[in-house]
Chain A
Amino acid sequence: MDAALTLAASDLVQWLGNLLTFRLASCLALSGALFAIGAWGVLARRNILLVLISVELMLNAVMLAFVAFARAHVNLAKETGLPYAGESGQIFALTIIALAAAEAAVGLAIVIAYFRNRQTVDTRDISLMRH
């Protein structure tokens, strides 16, 4: 009786563990959630700085998806002969980090230059491109 109970408990633990350690799907779900939240911010915020910040969130979500897939396919290299299967996703993520940094620098510079000329960061007022 005691042994059966222990067995059932360990089965339960195993099942819960399988459910919760399903890391790839959970990471993809988190990635989708972050992307959705970022899209929400891009559409809902009125401050242009917050729109840029939300774009950064979306970029982070994409990076997360790349890294999750890279982790899942880490041993693909040895079996299929494809080189660098495990590293490629992380290289993509590194490149995205570099591009995100460039995007943030240029975007914030444009915001500051615009604010200097027009004294506003509200997306409703930002409709002119000339001085």
Chain B
Amino acid sequence: MVRAMHSMLATLLFWIVVLMTVTAATFVVVARNILHAAFALAVAFLGVAGIYIFLHADFLAAVQLIVYVGGIIVLVMFAIMFSAHTQEGTVEPRRTWLALGGGALVAGVVLAATIMLINRLQVPLAEANAHADAAYRTTASAAPGEIALGHVLLGEYLLPFEVASILILAALVGAVAIVRKETR
């Protein structure tokens, strides 16, 4: 009984986090003030990090917090403040209903397609879900921990890891080269 209560509580928390994420993401799209949208984006990223914890991806949740909430949000804030010298400040001019409605229509189609796909996959998904749950219950170390992740990252996936690091280096050097003031 205690276990069931515990499970229900976790489920409630899960859905609260889901609701928070979706609300914040929607606010990113509808907020008129760009700074408010950036703050809402931080909340949405926090929510996704919370979902990662529910999915037993603790390391990924930490990386999400550090890279997105700590890095990309700060970068976005800087860019907003660099480019906010227009007469409207950080408040966006009015948007046409055509743009909002058209975007919402496309988004609705994407969402409907996803839900239809999930419904078609319902049985295999349920099986996989029950399977994973059983695995977690029987073996304590079923979740890929940080150690296993590190071994795989520097073993099987060493080449993608190195390629990604070279790509980041090239991208950062390129970003500096683009932003630097031209001296003639």
Contacts and interface: CB of A to CB of B under 8 A. Distances in A.
Contacts of B63: 94, 97
B114 A87 contact: no
Nearest to B101: A44
Interface string A94-131: 11011111111110111111010001111000000000
Interface size class of B (residues with CB under 8 A): 35 or more
A57 B122 contact: no
B85 interface: yes
A131 to B, nearest CB: 10
A90 to B, nearest CB: 5
Contacts, number: 265
Grouping DSSP codes into helix (H, G, I), strand (E, B) and loop, the B interface class, with mixed when no group exceeds half, is helix
Interface in A38-86: 38-47, 49-50, 52-54, 56-57, 60, 63-64, 67-68, 70-75, 83-84, 86
Nearest to A77: B144
A88 B157 CA distance: 9
Interface size grouping (class) on chain A: 35 or more
B132 to A, nearest CB: 5
Nearest to B156: A84
Contacts of B37: 50, 53
A95 B153 CA distance: 10
25 contacts: A17-B4, A23-B14, A24-B128, A25-B118, A26-B14, A28-B114, A34-B25, A35-B110, A40-B103, A44-B95, A45-B29, A45-B92, A64-B51, A70-B144, A74-B142, A84-B152, A86-B142, A86-B144, A90-B144, A91-B160, A100-B67, A100-B72, A105-B175, A109-B175, A113-B178
